[in-house]
Amino acid sequence: MSKILNEVLTANRGYVADFDKSDLPMPPGRHFAILTCMDARLDPAKYAGLSEGDAHVIRNAGGRASDDAIRSLVISYKLLGTREWFVIHHTDCGMETFTDDIMRDLLASSLKTASVDASGWHDCCEGPGSAEGKYIDWLTIKDQAQSVLEDVVRIKSHPLVPSDIPVYGYIYDVKSGALIEVPKATEAGK
């Protein structure tokens, strides 16, 4: 058994010992959803004051409004009653450190984990790689405020999203923990 697997299973046994959440309903109690990044430094429960059962939290690389993220938001509203949504990106995001072409080239060269230094991204090993990466839009980020605005606009203009759901746009500052509004995004999300 790996060290990580053992740690996770040990933590779960402790969680189970004190578990008292079996009566939580499936719909989120506070009727909202957050789309945010998968970055391990972000804890939406802490930065948004959430407890189990309060809200849906949808996470992906960059917190982007991908087809799958929109699918989850639509399910959140249509079947589980959320009435407000947040798009929350963050400072110092890894999605700002590469482009689609860099990712495609790295994957074509090798499927092993790449490394980064002052001169950019590098593969550590020889192939095999795969050309399949060229068919994916990696949704990289050049400008955080602009990407939040783009995602809010994409969500609000989606034909499956009701016009009366407000979508708020924010950037989480990884140095201070503050949520910083992107006013143009919030305006677009009205």
Residues 84 and 153 grouped into a single domain: yes
Answer whether residue 37 is part of any domain. yes
Residues 80 and 146 grouped into a single domain: yes
Q: What is the pLDDT of residue 170?
A: 98
Residues 88 and 157 grouped into a single domain: yes
Answer whether residue 23 is part of any domain. no
Residues 67 and 106 grouped into a single domain: no
Answer yes or no: is pLDDT of 188 > 90: yes
Domain count, the chain: 2
| DSSP string for residues in 84-99 | EEEEEEESS-GGGS--
Residues 71 and 165 grouped into a single domain: yes
Residues 121 and 190 grouped into a single domain: no
Residues 68 and 148 grouped into a single domain: yes
Are the C-beta atoms of residues 135 and 154 closer than 8 Å to each other?
A: no
Model confidence over 30-65: pLDDT tens digits?
999 999 999 999 999 999 999 999 999 999 999 999
Residues 87 and 155 grouped into a single domain: yes
Q: What is the pLDDT of residue 172?
A: 98
Q: What is the pLDDT of residue 125?
A: 81
Residues 88 and 177 grouped into a single domain: yes
Answer yes or no: is pLDDT of 1 > 90: no
99 φ/ψ angles, rounded to the nearest 5 degrees: -115, 170
Give CA–CA dist 160/72, Å, rounded.
11
Answer whether residue 15 is part of any domain. no
Residues 120 and 171 grouped into a single domain: no
- In 3D space, the residue among 187, 185, 182, 175 whose CA is nearest the CA of residue 47 turns out to be 175
Answer whether residue 53 is part of any domain. yes
Domain around 106: 101-136
Residues 83 and 160 grouped into a single domain: yes
Q: What percent of the chain has pLDDT over 90?
A: 97
Model confidence over 117-144: pLDDT tens digits?
999 999 988 889 999 999 999 999 999 9
Q: Is this model's pTM higher than 0.85 or not?
A: yes
Answer yes or no: is pLDDT of 155 > 90: yes
Residues 119 and 148 grouped into a single domain: no
Check which CATH number belongs to the domain holding 52 and give it.
Answer: 3.40.1050.10
